[in-house]
Structure 1
Amino acid sequence: MEEFFIMASNYGFPMVTAGYLLIRLEPVIKDLQKSITMLTVVIARQSDCDVEEMNRIIKSASK
């Protein structure tokens, strides 16, 4: 049990910091994903791609 407290004191701060940053940056990452998907659509339209091909590109980009 004592080892657990030592590990928690050694690794607790980095884990809390990483969790905080992940929660804080998640909306930014989602906005970037939306922007990239939208740019994919714009480029596909400018390249005269099929609708089916455009949908395939969007689906592969969202994975």
Structure 2
Amino acid sequence: MSFREVSEQIADVSAAAEQLSAGSEEVAAAVSGMAHIAGGVSEGSRMISTNTNSMREAIPQVSV
């Protein structure tokens, strides 16, 4: 194997490593976005639960 062939293989491996790195960054960004959405959904669920409990407490007072 010549020096040129080795250099080309090194360049190919380097390019592949850069693509993997970019893909990993995209995956990390997507996971971060999903975590943000999940946090919003969780907060919304807590608010619904709190409001539902408040309504349950208010119903007996209104129907009296």
- Judge same fold: TM > 0.5, yes or no: no
TM range (shorter): 0.3 to 0.5
Q: Which has the higher contact order (CA 8 A, sep 6+)?
A: 1
Q: Which of the two has higher C-alpha Rg?
A: 2
Structure with higher helix content: 2
